[in-house]
């Protein structure tokens, strides 16, 4: 079974008030049910670690990290929770949180709408495209109120040891 997933992530964020998208590159590591590390290296180093109930968010690169206030960490925790539902590939949790439509069965491509009105206030819908292996996610696009964020995952590795914080 897959208990841990890690790899590279490229995020492209298109804002309604900006012509050029913002492109960020980094890494991620998810351990089923209780750990997420999401770190961007460029253009602005920042990161987030969620471990159980503990959340740490920072800006700056190694040796120059500045811890972020708890309010920002809590917002990050909510976003991380949505990511973890998909990285854990827990069908019960996904179906409880979202209306899911299969756009294409192979490789699996889903269009998803949040069920909770609180989530729908900031996330209209998302698309999830899996790799041909059916076990890992290739792309997630989040359609927010004033932006679209697309995450491309690459170099996916399964069941690697947890990175040292």
What is the model's pLDDT at position 77?
Answer: 66
User: pTM of the prediction?
Assistant: 0.84
**Digitized pLDDT (tens) for each residue of the chain, 165 residues in all:** 778 889 999 999 999 888 999 999 999 998 877 888 999 999 999 998 888 878 888 899 888 888 877 656 666 666 666 666 776 667 888 889 899 999 999 999 999 999 988 888 888 999 999 999 888 889 999 998 889 999 999 999 999 988 776
The whole-angstrom separation of Cα 67 and Cα 93 is 31
- Outline where DSSP puts E strands in 16-146: 22-31, 35-42, 46-51, 54-59, 66-67, 98-104, 109-114, 123-130, 137-144
Q: How far apart are CA 36 and CA 29, in angstroms?
A: 6
Q: What are phi and psi of 73, to 5 degrees?
A: -65, -40
Rounded CA separation 152/141 (Å): 9
């Amino acid at each position: 079974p897959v208990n841990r997933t890690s790899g590279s992530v490229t995020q492209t964020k298109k804002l309604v008030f900006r012509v050029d998208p913002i492109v960020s590159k980094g890494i991620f590591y998810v351990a089923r049910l209780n750990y997420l590390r999401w770190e961007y290296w460029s253009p602005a180093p920042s990161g987030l670690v969620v471990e159980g109930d503990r959340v740490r968010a920072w800006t700056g690169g190694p040796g120059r990290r500045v811890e972020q206030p708890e309010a920002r960490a809590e917002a990050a925790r909510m976003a991380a929770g949505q990511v973890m539902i998909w990285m854990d590939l827990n069908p019960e949790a996904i179906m409880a949180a979202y209306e899911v439509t299969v756009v294409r069965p192979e490789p699996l491509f889903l269009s998803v709408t949040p069920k909770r009105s609180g989530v729908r206030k900031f996330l209209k819908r998302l698309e999830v495209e899996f790799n041909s292996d059916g076990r890992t996610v290739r792309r997630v696009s989040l359609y927010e109120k004033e932006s679209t964020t697309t995450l491309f995952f690459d170099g996916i590795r399964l069941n690697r040891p947890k990175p040292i914080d």
